[in-house]
Structure 1
Amino acid sequence: MLHDFGGIVRRTPGTVIRPSCAREVAEAVREAAASGTPLVARGCGHSTGGQSQTGGVSLDLRGLATVHAVQADRVVVDAGATWREVLDATLPHGRTPPVLTDYLDLTVGGTLSAGGIGGTSHVHGTQAANVLELDVVTRTGEAVTCSPGDRRDVFDAVRAAMGRNGVITRAALRLVPAPERVLSFTVPLAGAAGLLRAQRTVRADHVSGLAEPGGRCELRAVVHDGDRPPPGLPPDETGTGMEVEELSFLDFADRMRPDVQELIALGEWARPHPWATVLLPAARAVDVIDATLAEMGPDDIGLSGLVRIQALAPGPVPVPLLRAPADPVLFGLLRAASPGCRPVEEMLASNRVLHDRARAAGGVLYMSS
């Protein structure tokens, strides 16, 4: 029986296939299509609603994990490679993908199939908006190379599609110069309105935000290879003090590793994670966020849970299936069903309230949750 990071849905696949090349992926897809058997591609299984599970054929893409040639402007990688493995290959060349997920142990194919959002998405958009070319096996088992200028129909059909329209087997990812170090500023703010205003006005290379039940927020603004605060950094609105930290770029990119190791040791990483993430139009985002946080207490989010708020930009290549509203804001309830907190069923019921509230405001569900 397989489970995913969400720990809520559990299914036993009829067959598990771990292909070592795109040809084997195509064969598996054709055989499943011929027999009418559901087939689901799986990377590290970090979905939270059972999206990486099936009772049919589970296609384990971690067998396709090679990072190929690194050039100045791009790197070619297999879909089962993690972003950690990509970064390990590109940093010796002084290059990095423009958008990295906060947690690096996710596969390239998995996040491109969801969208892929990080702290630089206010400048560069999603990871799916920074792809130069893809190798894809379509639902009929056809192997296709596609890009913005060649087979654009397939290119647009697989990015942010959660695997519904084909299996990504290889990707050419855009690269940009990597900084050597970062200067990180964490500023407490009184509420979501101030946080979103700061995210829109601060001139930083990385911008992200966290919130707490009740409304207190925190802005993180990071400058690359800088020695002073970024322009537009807001003052501390709570009187609790701004934090400043200098790190190597790699340590910053991998900043979640110590926390994850601690959560694994405490058993929190293995708890159910009933996450809910929505993309809201900026004009309505504060209303939705404030109403949701006002209804929450610490037991609604869990001991290791987070509330994430992130302003986004479109990115260089449109991603039609992401269906994000104009001027989008990500709002994520990254819940953990910790002991002593609300049970999973109640957290899921609260998630449905958020989904309905977001849709009424013109927002959409971010499909990875």
Structure 2
Amino acid sequence: MRDFGGIVERSPVRVVRPGSVREVADAVREADAQGVDVVPRGSGHSTFGQSLTAGVSLDLRGLTGVEAGARQAAAAAGASWRDVLAATLPHGLTPPVLTDYLDVTVGGTISAGGVGGTSHVHGTQADNVLALDVVAGGEPVTCSPAARPDLFDAVRGGLGRHGVITGATLRLVPAPERVLCCTIPCRDAEDVLRVQREVRADDVSAQVKPSEDGWVFEAKAVLYGDGREPPPGTAETEELPYIDFCDRMRPDVEELIALGEWARPHPWGMVFLPASRAAAVIESTLAAMTPDGLGLSGVILIKALRIGHVPMLNALGDPVLFSVLRTASPGHASVPEMLAANRALLDRARAVGGTPYGVGSIPV
């Protein structure tokens, strides 16, 4: 069995596909009695075997369903963020933070932390959970900041090590009908971070792209609602319905699947960097890279964000998430070479007080 990373392979002793919370609890108790590890799995979108095990693989995609209320939604762990939006948008509501790719599961991203374009305002997806249903010690429990806060803190960003998330109560906010996407060319990493810090936008991100003249930096500022003026320096704009913006990756994913790139190994290097030192680490990493080390469909992302109280993420203050999302395409750098580059990235990050993001492919 593999995950999205396609690098690590493990064969579980058995795969359990529960259809209810009680079946999850039964599977956990049985595995505990046998001294076997249990690892929960949603869409398996981890990149270095985090959702794999030689013990019991607990496939939670059978736990589905989303119920939306006036200010919150109750979502089963196996529901995707696409499912969540389908339930909340008819009420004019949306989760404050969404992943760029909607077909990952609620339980999976909360257990990883979950970063999105709005994380500079709202923090991670784990910051926006009001309560969690968890199987811990073989028993179903509900935890929140007020009830079992120790468990609540351990499972958010805990990668399934301290309990199995079976459901989540999600905070909701009003959803815009349309958005204005603004592209802002930037000189370098420092300029990207300046734009992300100064721009008044609802969703901000940045990408670094290879060109004949070296690396090109580009910030994205997305404004929710109508009648707002593009930020200074905007070179291009595009107006979209909110749902189309949320689902903007779908055409790219379909093309990558058709090209075979979606199935290739994905040695992703992802680190949290202190904001004051981020530009230097980013520039030194890029100086040591060529497009060959990124792969045909690889992507480099820069995202300044705010993290609230999610202790398991081990990222203090307002860090910058620097993501080198490599794809081991034919004719490009090999998986071992890409993993070595990820290790060098982690060394640079740690030298300035940075930390790895747990779903990445970084040998430690």
Relative to the length of structure 2, the TM-score reads: 0.96
Displacement of 1:188: 1.4
Superposition pairs for residues 61-100 of structure 1, below 5 Å?
61-67=60-66, 69-100=67-98
Alignment of 1:58 onto 2:57: yes
- String of CA shifts for 1:22-44, please: whole Å, max 9, x gaps: 11111111111111111110000
Aligned residues of 1:282 and 1:327 also touching (Cα < 8 A): yes
Displacement of 1:178: 0.5
- String of CA shifts for 1:73-104, please: whole Å, max 9, x gaps: 10001001000011011111110000000000
AA matched with 1:100: L
2:100 aligned partner: 102
Aligned residues of 1:211 and 1:307 also touching (Cα < 8 A): yes
Superposition pairs for residues 50-199 of structure 1, below 5 Å?
50-67=49-66, 69-138=67-136, 140-199=137-196
Displacement of 1:122: 0.4
AA matched with 1:196: L
Q: Distance in 2 between matches of 1:245 and 1:132?
A: 34
Alignment of 1:46 onto 2:45: yes
Q: Distance in 2 between matches of 1:270 and 1:20?
A: 28
Q: Distance in 2 between matches of 1:341 and 1:73?
A: 48
Q: Distance in 2 between matches of 1:259 and 1:26?
A: 38
The alignment-based identity, stated in percent, is 64
2:353 aligned partner: 362
Q: Distance in 2 between matches of 1:336 and 1:201?
A: 32
2:227 aligned partner: 227
Alignment of 1:335 onto 2:334: no
Displacement of 1:115: 0.3
- String of CA shifts for 1:247-290, please: whole Å, max 9, x gaps: 00000000000000000000010010000100010011011100
Alignment of 1:16 onto 2:15: yes
AA matched with 1:87: L
AA matched with 2:122: H
AA matched with 1:127: Q
Q: Distance in 1 between matches of 2:181 and 2:145?
A: 35
Aligned residues of 2:307 and 2:316 also touching (Cα < 8 A): no
AA matched with 1:62: R
1:285 is paired with a residue whose SS is: helix
1:155 is paired with a residue whose SS is: helix
1:239 aligned partner: none
Unaligned 5+ runs, structure 1: 237-241
Unaligned 5+ runs, structure 2: none
Q: Distance in 2 between matches of 1:247 and 1:108?
A: 25
Match of 2:204 among 185, 191, 207: 207
AA matched with 1:245: E
Q: Tell me how many residue pairs correspond in the alignment.
A: 357
Displacement of 1:325: 2.6
- String of CA shifts for 1:48-94, please: whole Å, max 9, x gaps: 00111111100000010111x21111000100100001101111111
Alignment of 1:273 onto 2:266: yes
AA matched with 2:209: E
Q: Distance in 2 between matches of 1:106 and 1:28?
A: 23
Q: Distance in 2 between matches of 1:314 and 1:8?
A: 29
Aligned residues of 1:130 and 1:173 also touching (Cα < 8 A): yes
Tell me whether 30-39 or 121-130 shows the greater mean CA deviation. Answer: 30-39
AA matched with 1:148: P
Q: Distance in 2 between matches of 1:89 and 1:24?
A: 25
Aligned residues of 2:41 and 2:60 also touching (Cα < 8 A): yes
- String of CA shifts for 1:133-186, please: whole Å, max 9, x gaps: 100011x21211011111111101100000010000010000000100000001
Q: Distance in 2 between matches of 1:228 and 1:156?
A: 38
AA matched with 1:359: R
1:212 is paired with a residue whose SS is: strand
